[in-house]
Each structure stands twice: as C-alpha cells, then as structure tokens.
Structure 1
C-alpha cells in the first residue's frame, strides 16, 4: 500500500493506451453507424415494388450515398479537433453543429446530384427534377449529420467530464494525504514527551526497571515511526502499544493509575487509525489521573457492533460538552477526530462526554475505512 493517500495510483486520463482505445472505439462506432444505416437502406430498397430496374438503380445509389457520408464525417473530424470545438459547451456547440451539418449536407447532396446523372448517366429515380432530388437529399443528410455530430460531441463532453472528475479526485487525494501527514506530525510529540517523562522518573529509582522501560520506549518509538507510514493498523497493535505506554506511566503514578481492559476477540483485528487509542488514553491520563491526588482507573473497551468498532476509553473527572474539533478539547483529540473523519467520512465519529457523575467517556465509532489495513 502507498505511504499516503496522495500516492494512490490514479492513471492519467489522457494516457497513450487510453488514446489508442479511443481511436479504436471511434473506428468501430463509425463503421457500425454507417454500416447499420447502409443495411437499413438496403433492406428498404429490396422491398421496392417492380420493375427490377428501379431496384437495380437504387441499390448502388444507396451504397454511394453511405460511402460519401462516411468520408465527409471522417474528414470533418480533424477540422473539429483543430478548431477546438471539443472543449466547448452545448450552448456554443449548438449553432456550430447546425452550420457544419448544413455545409456537409450541401456537399453530400450536391456531389451526388452531379455524380449520378452527369458521371454515371442516370438517376436512381426518374421523372423527378434534379432540384427536388437535391433539396430532398440535403434535408435527409442534414438530419442525419446533426444526429452524428450530437453523438460525437456528447461522447467528448462525457469524456471531458470524466477527466475533470478524475483530476478532482487526484487533487482531493493529494490534499487528504498532506492533511493526514500534518496531523500525524502533530501527534508524535505528545506521545514522545509523556514517555520520556516517565523514563526520567524511573532511572534513579530502579535501574533494572529502567532497562525494561527503555525497551518499552523503544517499542513505542518504533511503532510511532512505522505507523506514520500507514493509514490503518489492527487494533491489537494499538492495544499493545498502549499497554507499554500505561506501563511507563504507572512508574510515575504508581498505584494512582489502574487499568481495566474489556476487548472482544473479534475486535482485535479491526483496522483503526494509528495512534488513535494512544491519543485517547494519553488524554485520559493527563486529565483524569494526573490532576487527581487519588488517581483513578483507565477503562478500555472495544467491541464489534454490526459493521463498526465501538471503542470506549473512560477516566475519572469532569468535562464540559463541546465538539471534539474545538480547542477546548485539546489538540490531540481534535487531530484524532480529524484523522478519523478523513479516513471514514461521516460514518466515523469521536465523542467526549460525561458518563455518570464522575466519569468521562471518549467514544470512537470506527466503521471499515475506505483504505485497507496494511499487513
């Protein structure tokens, strides 16, 4: 998986392979549309009543008309591209389509009216004036050419819409990746300072325990660096890191800090944003344990509820109701809520509220994220 959302592979819309595919599609549609019209004309021509001489004249005339129409539309294509009409909207294209179809229709009908009687020496239908044939042919060709041009430009307008949409997604992914990286960089100092404070308090008192704490701190630092490259991690990894963190904090707070875990087995592999649980527990220690002489208990529970993980962290204390994203709840929680929102949209949430008269609850709802968990 890429290091960030911004590096997700979104192929360029106008890649060489896509251009070749568009060219093949044009040839197929061009041959299919004119071939289909030819087939329809031939079927109707074969149903003409006797004499057979009429059918013998109409059939080659139909083939000539279709061939000429195919050539006119094909050679108009590079002109359309050169004039830049493919970048116009329907309001600007309307008069251009009508004008081009009118000119093409004049050429189509005029060439046939000159070719058939003066070069071949016959008309497909006798006893009809040349002017009537010309006008009738121009009207028919104009209608069909307008339809052909509308389909052609609709295809290109649809492609342009897709190209703009892909570019919007690409820019959105880049912005999302940049925002996630910025939020992660703000979270790391919180965890490092708390861990170092715990270790400093331990070195002089118990060197043996200090060595164990160094190992735990190394694990925390390693996880912090590795998780910065990931969008989600299994909840079990978060829980292991938090256990090390609380072990370090217990050195400083001793019996004032107690921990209670209630985690279901199916919740352990659920993908969560890295450092999310660490942030919630760190906040609980800072505001629920450090500020109370008697300390208290940090409760961590996690269970699966349908297609989402419900993560709850409790600590003693009081909190005023306020949106998580506000400054009053702390930068760490605000960043955690922002990361969760970026990964899960409106389906995820992080809420901080009172539970009972002397307990604060931080509850995170984590649906399956858009991004997969890295292994």
Structure 2
C-alpha cells in the first residue's frame, strides 16, 4: 500500500532545502574570504572540521526554530537536545561530503594554476636572461674598443696587441655565457679586469679603478656576465657623464652567510640604469632563480655623488 507524503513533510523538506542552501552559502563565503582553500591539507582540515560542525548545528537550530514556529512537528514530547543532535548528524551526512569535494576541487584547481604560473614565470625569466646575456656586450663598447686599439697600433703596438687579447677574452666569455648557469667569481673578475683595461684606454686618467677582494670569495659561483654588466652600467651611466671622470670600486667579501658583491661608482642614479634589458627586477629574478629567495640585488645612491650596486648571494655552508 502506497504511503502518501503529507503536506507537513513537504513543508519540512522545503525548510530543510532552503536552510541548507542559505547556511552553506554563508559557509562558502567564509571559506572564500578566509582563504581556506589556499591552505595545505594539514592546516585546512581543522578549520573545515570546526566550520562543518558549526554549519550543521546552525542548520539544526534554524530547522527546529522554523518547525516549532510553523507547528510542523508532532513529537512535542521530544526534548530539544536529542532533536538537535539528530538533525545535526543527518545534516552532517550531506555537508561533510559537499565540503570535502568543494575544498579538494578548489585546492587542486588553485595548485594547478599556481604551478602553471610558476612555469610561465620561470620560462619568462629564462627568456629575459637569454636576451640579456646576448645583449651584454654593448655594440658601442666594441666600436669604442676597436677605435682605441686602432689608435694604439702606431703609438703603442705592444699595448694594442694586449688590448686585442682582452677584447677577445670578453667576446669569448659572452659567447660561452649562454651555456653556463654560473661561473666562479675569479673567472668573472678576470673578464671585468679586461673590460676595465680596455675602457681605461678610452678614458685614461678620467677612470680610476679600485679592488677590495677577499681571496676566499674567488671560488664562489655567480651568474655569468652579471658583474661585467653592472660594471659596464657604472661606466656608461656614471663615469662617462662626469666631466672629471671618477672611480669604480669593486668589493667582494663574506657577510654573515652571504657572498657580498658591491660596485661603487662616481655618479648619480637615473632612469637609464634599466637600459640594455638589465634592470633591477630582471637581475633580482635571475639571482633568485639560481640561488633562491634569499639572494638579492639592489642599487641606490650612497651619497657624495656615489652609486652603490649590491649583490647578495647565499653561501652554501654544506661545502
């Protein structure tokens, strides 16, 4: 014999559905605003557990209040707490699976998006690095170096031959840089010395160079051509714009758990320091991609017509 659904049962079902939709919508807003879906499973589950319990209790309280107010419950003798526990347990059978599916769906979706964004960022950084490396040897520098060498051929043939060797070393290093992630600081410093020797032919007494190098730092890894580019920027945007020239000072030392490289040059900062594709952001990204988030690069005015570029690279203490 078929059992007909009474009007009260329909009304109770209607209240149950509406209450569930209303309260779970509020719970979803709490999850979104609190960023629980971004948390790891270990951190998220306790929060979701408390949230689910409170949600089920809230639904139970609202259902009991509406049912009593509309006189939909015939069991008047049933005590409040047993009714609340029963409704809360029944509601939990629906809320718990819904919440877990909601969390893991968004967690996987967000994790996939973050992983894709990371891959895109790393690809972009590598592309920027490659373009930067290829543009490291400024064509103007090559032309200036060749003109300086040509002027020396008759005046000082020995120095001219040495200058050709220095230019050859720089070009060879630039070509090899694409194949290497890091080089020793000693190798990079030798290239910089060749570069500065060539620039000294052009600037003569207007360019003074000072070194303060801790020999223990010579075997430390650094990105290829990075130091050369920073020194080139110091010459281009600093020394060349000073009527009386100035000084480039290169310091390499250990500071705490870092290899600290400092390039000081006479001059002032200006927007052109970001030219040649080697700005502050790309340099910092390159360092952090190779050495982690602790690596850093900064450039600032150090006062007294001096610009300071500072590179910090974490030292591998396990070696």
Which interval holds the TM-score relative to the shorter structure?
A: 0.5 to 0.7
- Measured in 2, the distance between the counterparts of 1:196 and 1:336 equals 27
TM-score normalised over the length of structure 1: 0.50
1:352/1:275 CA distance change after superposition, 3 Å:
farther
TM-score normalised over the length of structure 2: 0.57
1:361 Cα offset (Å): 2.8
Matching residue of 1:201: 151
Alignment of 1:365 onto 2:314: no
Ranges in structure 2 where 5+ consecutive residues have no aligned partner: 1-27, 30-88
Structure number with greater Rg is 1
Alignment of 1:312 onto 2:262: yes
1:156 Cα offset (Å): 5.1
1:298/1:292 CA distance change after superposition, 3 Å:
same
CA contact (8 A) 2:125 2:285 kept: yes
Alignment of 1:238 onto 2:181: no
Ranges in structure 1 where 5+ consecutive residues have no aligned partner: 1-89, 92-139
- Measured in 1, the distance between the counterparts of 2:153 and 2:274 equals 30
1:239 Cα offset (Å): 0.8
1:302 Cα offset (Å): 1.7
CA contact (8 A) 1:264 1:303 kept: yes
Alignment of 1:341 onto 2:250: no
CA displacement 1:31-70 (0-9 Å, x = unmatched): xxxxxxxxxxxxxxxxxxxxxxxxxxxxxxxxxxxxxxxx
Matching residue of 1:224: 174
Matching residue of 1:300: 250
| Pairing 1:61-76 to 2, within 5 Å after superposition | none
Matching residue of 2:125: 176
- Among residues 328, 331, 335, which one is paired with 2:275 in the alignment? 331
SS at 1:163 equivalent: helix
1:286/1:149 CA distance change after superposition, 3 Å:
closer
CA contact (8 A) 1:235 1:268 kept: yes
CA RMSD of aligned residues (A): 3.6
| Pairing 1:216-295 to 2, within 5 Å after superposition | 216-286=166-236, 288-291=238-241, 295=245
CA contact (8 A) 2:264 2:307 kept: yes
CA contact (8 A) 2:249 2:265 kept: yes
